[in-house]
Structure formats: C-alpha cells, structure tokens
Amino acid sequence: MKLASKPCPWYAKAKASTRKRQAEWLKRRAVEAYFQQHYDAFDQTIAAFNVPPPPSAKRRLDSLLQEFYLRPNADLESELHDRRHNHDLTECPSCGNPLIPDTLDHFLPKEDWPEYAIFANNLVPQCRACAPIKGRRYFCTTHQRAMFLHPMYSAALASVQFKINVSLQAGRPNFEIKFSAAKTTAHADIVRIEQHLRELKVLGRMLEFCVRHWSHWRQKVKTQGIDIEALFRLEIGTDSANEYGRDWATAFKKGVLRDAEALAALNAKPPLHPAPVEELIELNIC
C-alpha cells in the first residue's frame, strides 16, 4: 500500500465533477487553498499523534464534503474502487484478519474532519470487522494520543506478527495468543501498537477466529477426509522455522502443527462409510 503522490490527484478529479453543486464549490480559490493547506499538513497531523488534531473549520459543511465520498463522480468512484479493491493485501493491515480488505476506513473520521473525506492518504483498506469497532473514534483523551496506528505511515505496525499456541485440555482445543513486533521497534511505538490492538479488540476476535477455524477444519476432515498436516505444511511452506505468522490463519496453522496432540485430534479421520450413490436426473435450464 503506497502513499499517494502530492498534490492529491483525487481533488482534481472531484473538481472536474459534472455535478454542478460539487464542482462549483470546489473550484473556488479559497476552498482550494483550504483543502491544499490541510492536505499539506496531513503527514504532520498523523506524526503528531499525541496532540489532538484541531477541530475542522468545515464541520458545518460536513454533509457537502462527505457527499464527494458518498456520491462521487465516475472518475473519483474509479479511484475509490481501486483503493478499496485493487491492492495486493491478503489480510487486514490494521488487525491481521486473513480476509482481503474490501472496505475503506477514513483514518481521520470524515464526520469530524470532512476535509479529508476524499484525501487518498486518509483512506485505508480495512476488514469489515475492524470498521465498526474503529468507527468514528480517533483520539484517546485518557492517554492523550491517537488510539490507532495508520498502516500506511507505521512501519512498526507492519512488523506485528501473531503466535497461537494450540493445546488440548480435557479433549477440547485451547488457544493461547501472543503478539510480537520487530526487536528494533521503539518503546513509544510498542505502547502505541499495544493500544491499537487493544482498541480493535484483536485478542478476542482472534480467539473467536480460532474456535471457528478449528470447527471449520474438523468438519473438512470429517466430510472430505482432508489430511490437515499435509495441507497446513504445504500452505506454510518454508516459513515453518518462525513460530509467528503475519496473519491469524498462518499463526493458527503453525500452532496446530507444533502440538502433536492437537494435530492428531484435528486430523482424526472418522471410520469410512461410503454414502450410497443416489440416482440423479439431469436438468435443462437453457
């Protein structure tokens, strides 16, 4: 995920809108200067994470500004579609959920800072589970810092990995979840990563994920006779030396493979009772 070039190309596309009300307003020199000033300050605003961003001077125009995002013209819609779908992410950059992100988060919420409603670097692909949890929250007044890390601005967040220890307790799977960051990560960033993961409820969501995935794979073994060990080893490939994974699914598979008892329980094949072959009739729907 790369930062957009400067000046943000989306503004020019919005300005070229054929929707009269939108285009005329954006073309005003004072409006353009206001936007540019805020776009120029965006990197600084994100970097100054322990200072609340100044309240927007355009809050009273928030519905008009949000309209550029909610009802974009065709050119801008194409940019938003690309940002939302045409990326190479295979997990959520905010939480590590192993789903291809297909929604966009306004890192600075568009309701409170509507000037960034169509600023490319404020729009981050995110999973649909993170979106309602993050919502409109941004600044934590208890700790006097931003609650979240911006995935496009934080190398520290990109270094986060997950480890899941799987074991059997009284015949049932138990999951112990751990998080890591690069050893070179500054203490201030560690504190921020921990808050980011806490605010997005990642621990609880990962536990739910593990329970669901255990059932999912158990069902696959029972109904399709899949060999979990062979499949998981194939998917993990040469990365097996590292106990941590970049996403939850990789961490889950590594955790299962590390515990022989859990692996045997997940991989236990039921006795084979071939289903009787049912006679079928072909349908014609041409």
Q: Are 120 and 8 in contact (CB under 8 A)?
A: yes
Give min distance, CB of 105 to Zn ion, in A. 9
Residue selected from 94, 154, 195, 267 as contacting Zn ion according to rule CB under 5 A: 94
**Restricting to residues 114-173, which ones interact with Zn ion according to CB under 5 A?**
127, 130
CA distances from 44 to 9, 47, 117, 215 (A): 19, 5, 17, 46
Contact stretch for Zn ion (CB under 5 A) within 15-23, 91-99, 158-166, 203-211 = 91-99
Q: Are 253 and 232 in contact (CB under 8 A)?
A: yes
Angstrom distance (rounded) from CA 211 to CA 172: 10
Residue with tokens 């979840």: 177
Angstrom distance (rounded) from CA 23 to CA 12: 10
> Which residues, listed in sequence order, are joined to residue 10 by a DSSP beta bridge?
none
Task: Rank residues 17 and 126 by Cβ distance to Zn ion and give the closer one.
Answer: 126
Q: Are 255 and 175 in contact (CB under 8 A)?
A: yes
Residue selected from 17, 22, 97, 154 as contacting Zn ion according to rule CB under 5 A: 97
Give min distance, CB of 130 to Zn ion, in A. 3
Q: Are 105 and 123 in contact (CB under 8 A)?
A: yes
Give min distance, CB of 199 to Zn ion, in A. 12
Give min distance, CB of 113 to Zn ion, in A. 21
Angstrom distance (rounded) from CA 126 to CA 131: 7
Contact stretch for Zn ion (CB under 5 A) within 86-94, 146-154, 191-199, 253-261 = 86-94
Residue selected from 92, 104, 120, 228 as contacting Zn ion according to rule CB under 5 A: 92
Contact stretch for Zn ion (CB under 5 A) within 55-63, 82-90, 92-100, 144-152 = 92-100
Contact stretch for Zn ion (CB under 5 A) within 90-98, 107-115, 165-173, 226-234 = 90-98
Q: Does 95 bind Zn ion (CB under 5 A)?
A: yes
Task: Rank residues 114 and 151 by Cβ distance to Zn ion and give the closer one.
Answer: 151
Number of residues that bind Zn ion (CB under 5 A): 6
**Restricting to residues 39-58, which ones interact with Zn ion according to CB under 5 A?**
none
Q: Are 101 and 79 in contact (CB under 8 A)?
A: no
For 264, what's the count of Cα atoms within 13 Å in the CB-facing half-sphere? 5
Which tokens sit at 32? 């353009």
Give min distance, CB of 121 to Zn ion, in A. 19
Residues near Zn ion (CB under 5 A) are 92, 94-95, 97, 127, 130
